[in-house]
Structure formats: C-alpha cells, structure tokens
Chain A
C-alpha cells in the first residue's frame, strides 16, 4: 500500500542523491552520468579559488540570520498585539489581512515590489519626490536590498509566524494573569513576566529549526523580488540562485553540481546540529 509513495521518494529524492557524483565528473549530456569522465576534485578546486563561494555563502547566511531575527521579533510582536485585542471580530479582520500574503506566490510578489520600487514611476519614488527627496534607483542600488528583502520576508511570513505564537499564548493558564492583576501588575509587566517567558520554548524551537535550514535560501524571494537583477548580486545572490544560474543560464554543470553538493553536505550537518540542540531543549519537538 505504501509502495507508490516510497517509489516517488526513491525516484525523486534518492536517485538524485547518487547523482551527486556529477560534482566529481566532467559532465557531458551526450555521455550521461555514467560515461562522463571522472575529474576528481577539479570542480571544487575551481570553486574554492573563485570569489563567488564566499559571496554566496556570506549572503545566504547573513540574510537568513536577518530573516530569523526580524521574523521572530515581528511574529511575536504581532501575536502579542493581536492577543490583546478584546474585540474578536477585529482580531479576525487583522489576522486575515496579515495572513493574506501567505497565499500569494513569489511571482506575484515580484509584481508588487516592482509597482512599489521601479525607478521611473514606482510608488515609493513618487512618495519621495512628493516629500522633496531625490528618487532612488532601487533596482541598481544593492546596499538597500538586505532591508528590502527583510521587509518583504516579514510581510510574507509574519501572518504564519504569529499564528504559531498565538496558539502558544492560548495555552497559558489564565490564573497567572489573574494573580498578576491582583498584585497590581500592568499589561507590560504581564507580558514581560508571564507571556514572554511562556513563549520562550516555542521561540527557541522555531529558531533552532530555522538555523537547521540556514544554508538554504528561499529561491522565489531572491529570484522574483530582485527580478534576478545582476546589478544587485553583490548583496542578493545566494547559494540557490547561484546554482540555478550556473545550471540554466551559464550551463556550467560542474560548478553548479559542486556548489549544490557543498550546500547539501553543510546543510545536512546543520540540520543534525540543530536537531541535537532541539533535543536538549525539548525532546518532544526534535525531528528524530
């Protein structure tokens, strides 16, 4: 009964695992994987000598760290705000609005960001002009992009994130709050001393799980929102977009395979480490 599912995984997940040998070959499409020549570590020698590797690794890590921290603050913050609203209809309305970007594909988000950011007639430059400021050529100014990507990422994912923390808040025993109010604690104190401490385990777990994925970037965000603009690569090119380009645009299969294997191996190690940490914090939440 489970055979079809196992077969799908065998073909689409396990066969490619053996395909990592391509990284050690001079792959020629007409020869196939088996008949292409072994070239040992040549692809990696080339890779480690080029400046690309440090750029895409640094970008992937720093942007993901930025996303993890900002995402955590925004999700918890929004959940705290939503949790305090007394009018239930209002809570639902706000939640619907902040949740809606979750349903939008990155392609369409690319349209949204273009409408806001394009240099000639985008909304933001129009706004800057009205304020008497100089318009900014966003799509050729890499220095702004870590922040643009961070805000886009928050916009897209904070609805999802806040749901998790809201659910966590529902699990907190109301008696703590009643006791705190009797002692004259105000809202801020209640949040500081009751709500947040109760959410710490979830925060730790979510962060550790995210760290396990820190070597993988959200391809759609980096490809569509930046419009794959080469002027922005210095701050926006990440491992996933680089591998895609090496494979599809430059047809540099050796390089793409080498970077891909590098990502798989380091990524695997990071998942194991983060899982080991999760297990120490809360065995029930560890993956294995």
Chain B
C-alpha cells in the first residue's frame, strides 16, 4: 500500500519533470542550433587553413579538413616579415591611438562637464554638430592627401579617429556623476585645473575610461578604412589591410623578392595560405576580446540606454 503510494508520485514527477522542462529543452535546442550556425564560417576557415591545397580544391571547404596539412602555416613561417610588420603597425597604431584618444577625449569631456565653464554650451554643440553633418569622403580625402600630406604616414592611421563625439558625451555624462565637492574643495586648496583633472577626476573615472578604452582598441585594431584610403606603402600596411591585399593579390604574402619569385613559379597553396592568414589575424585578438566581453556588454548598455 505504502509502496504503491510512493511509486505513483515519482512516476508523475518524472513525467512532469520532462513536461515542465520541455520548454527549456526546446529553448536550448534552438539556441544551440543558432550558436552552431554562428560558428560555421569560423570553423570552415580554420579547417580550410589546415587542409591540403589540392584536397581543398577537389573536395571543397568543409567543417573538418578533408586532408590534414600544415603546409599553409609552414609557408607563412618561411618568411613572416610582412605579417610581423603589419602586426607591428597595428599594435603601434592601436597603442598610440588609444592612449592619445583617451587623453584628448577625456580632457574635452571634462571641460564640457564643468558646469562653471562659460563656453560649455557652444563647445558641446561644436562637438555634437559633427555627429549630424559631415563634409563627406571627397573633401576629407583631398584635405588629408593634398593639404595635410599625411598619405603613407603612421599619423593618418589614428589622427582622424582621435575624437569620437559619442564617446566624448559618454565620458561627459560619467564625469557629471562625480561629486562636485571633490573638485570644489581641491580648488579651495589651491589645486590647478590640471592637477584636479589628473589627481581627482581621472582616478575616479577608471571604470568609464577602461570601457571607452576597450572600444577604442577594437576600433583601431579592426580598422581597414584609413589604410584603404591613405596607405600605399606595404611597410605601413596594418593587419586588416594586409589581409585585404592578400585576398586580392598573393604577392603581399612575401616581402622578399626571392620568395616572391618562388611564389610565382612554384605551385603554392594560395587558397589555404589566405585562410591561414585570416586565422593568424583573428586568433589571439579575438580570444582577448571575448575574454573582455562583459566590459563591452557594459559599455553597450551604457551607450544604448543612458546615452544622451
């Protein structure tokens, strides 16, 4: 009697566990499918980079290498000069650009945040108006190439991006939340404006600066636009632009002429080399960005919901 009483509820419970969680299981099924579909392009490129060239031509791209081969990576390692140089250009531009952009933007945002600054409103409008109207590509291009003569310089890879109006306003909003008393009491103690900015405002704003800094790093690291317009000299190719150049013309795979001659005469695994290059370019950075993902998420909600 007692046992039958016990059995019934358990079987009911089992059934109801399934029926209660059918929704959750279906949900996971959908989300796993979506996730797999999202990863397919990445998997295909990685697998192609590890496939034998002839097998790739014959069997096509797949999720797994049809015939495993490290030939493409070996070729790249034969003469990695151009890749290392491009990595160097990108790293330099990203480092200098991010630091410079954070400095310039935080200074500007701080000035605009100070309620006692007389020109606050006109200057805010000055920054803001650039979000509404721009002169377009042609005047900018002519200005930079003909008048500023910045073509084929490192400068052109970060100067035009130093001030992102949207980031300036996010920083200004953040600075506005800092307690006014700190600044006022420092002023009474005779601290200069620079001292207040450096010793009070900046240390109090590290979370905001770190978030904006991450977006700047992403912006500089992934940029190909400035190079597409203003860089012709292979020595100054940033990583993303090198990838583009390689897709168009395999010559850029190799910087020394002997190897280039070899490239044109010997049968070279061109398809797989290209894919291997893409993997090398994505690799370490994508992992770093993914690790920092939650800070990006925080930044987006900051901008998406509190942006003003």
Contacts and interface: CB of A to CB of B under 8 A. Distances in A.
B139 A111 contact: no
B62 A123 contact: yes
A146 interface: no
Contacts of A168: 305
Contacts of B143: 11-12, 15-16, 19
Contacts of A268: 132-133
- Sorted from nearest, which 5 A-B pairs have the closest CB atoms? A19-B139, A16-B135, A260-B136, A5-B108, A121-B60
A132 B296 CA distance: 44
B208 interface: no
A81, A106, A248, A260 pick with most chain B CB within 10 angstroms: A260
Interface in B141-182: 141-143, 146, 148, 159-160, 162-163, 165, 168
A116 B60 contact: no
Interface residues of A, number: 95
Contacts of B127: 5-6, 9
A182 B61 CA distance: 53
B259 interface: no
B159 A103 contact: no
B244 interface: yes
B82 interface: no
Interface stretch (A49-57, A63-71, A82-90, A230-238): A82-90
Given A121-B57, A123-B44, A256-B138, A187 B108 contact: no
Interface in B101-155: 103-105, 107-108, 110-112, 123, 126-128, 130-143, 146, 148
Interface string B18-46: 00000110011011001100111110110
13 contacts: A2-B111, A5-B168, A6-B108, A9-B163, A13-B130, A15-B135, A20-B135, A86-B24, A94-B31, A95-B297, A100-B39, A101-B38, A107-B224
Given A8-B104, A19-B139, A90-B28, A1 B111 contact: yes
B135 A8 contact: no
A219 interface: yes
Given A104-B286, A256-B138, A287-B131, A29 B146 contact: yes
B69 to A, nearest CB: 16
Interface string B66-95: 000000000000000000000000000000
B135 A219 contact: no
Contacts, number: 257
Interface residues of B, number: 90
A87 B25 CA distance: 11
B262 interface: no
A121 B275 CA distance: 14
A155 interface: yes
A151 B53 CA distance: 29
A87 to B, nearest CB: 8
B227 to A, nearest CB: 10
Contact of A219 (B42, B225, B296): B225
Main secondary structure of the interface of A (DSSP, over half): helix
B247 interface: yes
A76 to B, nearest CB: 13
A16 B108 CA distance: 21
A108 interface: yes
Contacts of B27: 81, 84-85
Interface of A: 1-2, 4-6, 8-9, 11-20, 22-23, 27, 29, 32-33, 78, 81-82, 84-87, 90, 93-116, 118, 120-123, 125-126, 155, 160, 163-164, 167-168, 187, 202, 206, 219-220, 224, 227, 240, 243-244, 247-248, 253, 256-257, 260-261, 263-264, 267-268, 271-272, 284-285, 287-288
B197 interface: yes
Given A8-B162, A9-B165, 6 more contacts: A9-B127, A85-B31, A98-B34, A111-B243, A122-B61, A253-B138
A104 B142 contact: no
Contacts of A100: 38-39, 42, 286, 290
A6 B117 CA distance: 15
Given A111-B243, A112-B42, A256-B137, A96 B293 contact: yes
Contacts of A187: 23
A160 B281 contact: no
